[in-house]
């Protein structure tokens, strides 16, 4: 709540129209109706990202940090290439990619709007290798590319105030009252607005898009099944970011259904894959070397 005044200042610059904008989610083509523009979402999320990084400690494990940067960069390149080749080149200017590995035992990762990727060290024993990490990061990047935060903020607004109110406010009193309402909503949703708490529909969509992004980046999407089985074995409640995801059984069932489609995008790369450094993994001593081979 303390940031409300700052949010107001940012949101004062937002151009709201009576009907918002209708756009299509890349890959799935789903139509979404957004009341906030990219610039607003970026401003809000950048503020939260900066504040998070100030309090976070970066990993001292060089090998794992480089792995996160390598996998993240390859996914980012694949996403930018896809957007560019599909008439969405203008979208790519919103991404200023950053990849961080943070000292935190939680099984967690997120990608903020604009491509700010954060991976917690606690996730790596579960992802096990680069392909596993690509599945998670593909999913998180998909939330950003599909503008799920903007959609969530827009839907919350519609639920609370209705479209007519927004239209009336925008027309009669400029955008100030509407932006104030949006700012209050953004503040009430808090930091999770950009990192967690997505709807089940959005989670499922991120699973699907993420699988295809991973494949496009040269990672075998087939590892997603075993990765989500390992996640399921962690038990619910161990990872806040995955808490609202579809049930494990449903998710794995869906992923198996989507794999043939994802594999169409899969072109293995020639880069040598290194298994993650195991200094943070207690399970590593019993794990057989199962380095993913990509040719």
Residue 107 C-beta: closest distance to Zn ion, Å: 13
Which candidate in 91, 121, 130, 140 is catalytic?
140
CB 210 within 8 A of CB 140: yes
CB 108 within 8 A of CB 120: yes
Name the residue nearer to Zn ion (CB basis): 74 or 139.
139
Interface segment toward Zn ion; rule CB under 5 A; list 47-55, 99-107, 205-213, 279-287: 205-213
Residue 143 C-beta: closest distance to Zn ion, Å: 6
Interface segment toward Zn ion; rule CB under 5 A; list 11-19, 65-73, 169-177, 204-212: 204-212
| # residues contacting Zn ion (CB under 5 A) | 2
Name the residue nearer to Zn ion (CB basis): 14 or 252.
252
Buried b (16+ CB within 10 A) or exposed e, 112-125: bbbbbbbbbbbbbb
Binding-residue pattern over the window 150 to 189 for Zn ion, x denoting contact by CB under 5 A:
----------------------------------------
CB 192 within 8 A of CB 44: no
130 tagged catalytic: no
Q: How far apart are CA 61 and CA 95, in angstroms?
A: 26
Interface segment toward Zn ion; rule CB under 5 A; list 32-40, 77-85, 148-156, 198-206: 198-206
Which residues between 219 and 238 bind Zn ion (CB under 5 A)? none
Which residues between 99 and 118 bind Zn ion (CB under 5 A)? none
Reading phi first (left if > 0) and then psi (alpha if -120 to 50, else beta), residue 27 is in left
Interface segment toward Zn ion; rule CB under 5 A; list 80-88, 173-181, 195-203, 223-231: 195-203
Residue 250 C-beta: closest distance to Zn ion, Å: 14
Name the residue nearer to Zn ion (CB basis): 74 or 251.
251
CB 149 within 8 A of CB 114: no
Residue 285 C-beta: closest distance to Zn ion, Å: 31
Q: How far apart are CA 94 and CA 104, in angstroms?
A: 28
The gap from C-alpha 13 to its chain's centroid, in whole angstroms, comes to 25
The DSSP-derived string for 30-88 is: -EEEESS-HHHHHHHHHHHHHHHHHH--B---HHHHHHHHHHHHHHHHHHHHHHHHTT-
Residue 14 C-beta: closest distance to Zn ion, Å: 25
What residues act catalytically? 140
Binding site residues, Zn ion, CB under 5 A: 203, 206
């Amino acid at each position: 709540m303390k940031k409300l005044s700052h949010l107001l200042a940012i949101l004062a610059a937002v151009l709201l129209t009576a009907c918002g904008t209708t756009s299509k989610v890349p890959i799935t083509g789903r139509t979404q109706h957004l009341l906030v523009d990219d610039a607003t979402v970026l401003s809000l999320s950048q503020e939260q990202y900066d504040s998070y990084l100030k309090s976070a400690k970066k990993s001292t494990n060089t090998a794992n940090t480089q792995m996160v940067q390598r996998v993240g960069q390859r996914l980012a390149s694949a996403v930018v290439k896809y957007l560019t080749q599909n008439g969405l080149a203008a979208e790519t200017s919103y991404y200023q990619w950053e990849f961080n590995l943070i000292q935190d035992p939680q099984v967690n990762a997120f990608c903020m709007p604009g491509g700010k990727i954060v991976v917690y060290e606690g996730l790596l024993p579960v992802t096990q290798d680069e392909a596993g990490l690509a599945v998670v990061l593909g999913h998180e990047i998909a939330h950003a590319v599909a503008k799920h935060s903007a959609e969530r903020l827009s839907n919350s607004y519609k639920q609370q105030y209705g479209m007519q109110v927004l239209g009336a406010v925008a027309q009669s009193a400029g955008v100030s009252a509407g932006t104030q309402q949006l700012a209050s909503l953004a503040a009430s949703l808090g930091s999770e607005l950009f990192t967690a708490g997505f709807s089940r529909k959005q989670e499922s969509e991120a699973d699907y898009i993420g699988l295809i992004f991973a494949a496009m980046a040269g990672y075998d999407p087939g590892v997603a099944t075993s990765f989500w089985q390992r996640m399921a074995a962690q038990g619910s409640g161990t990872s806040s970011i995955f808490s609202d995801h579809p049930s494990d059984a449903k998710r794995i069932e869906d992923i198996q259904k989507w794999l043939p489609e994802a594999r169409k995008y899969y072109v293995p790369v020639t880069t040598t894959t290194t298994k993650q450094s195991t200094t943070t993994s207690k399970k590593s001593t019993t794990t057989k070397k199962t380095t993913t081979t990509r040719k």
